[in-house]
């Protein structure tokens, strides 16, 4: 059970970090686009 929960936590952390990087990248692109205009 502990191993499964640890694996689940690793997957959740990877998904959260991935989503955070994607959102941050989108925000940076939006800010750059706004600054260009």
CA distance 16 to 8: 12
pLDDT of residue 35: 82
Q: Write down the pTM of the prediction.
A: 0.59
pLDDT at 12 over 90: yes
| Segments forming the whole domain that contains residue 10 | 1-37
Q: What is the mean pLDDT of residues 33-37?
A: 81
Percent over 90 (pLDDT), the chain: 68
Q: For tokens 């941050």, what's the residue?
A: 24
Number of domains forming the structure of the chain: 1
Q: For tokens 């925000």, what's the residue?
A: 27
């Amino acid at each position: 059970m502990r191993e499964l929960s640890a694996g689940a936590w690793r997957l959740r952390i990877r998904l959260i970090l991935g989503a955070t990087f994607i959102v941050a990248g989108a925000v940076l692109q939006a800010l750059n686009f706004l600054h260009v205009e």
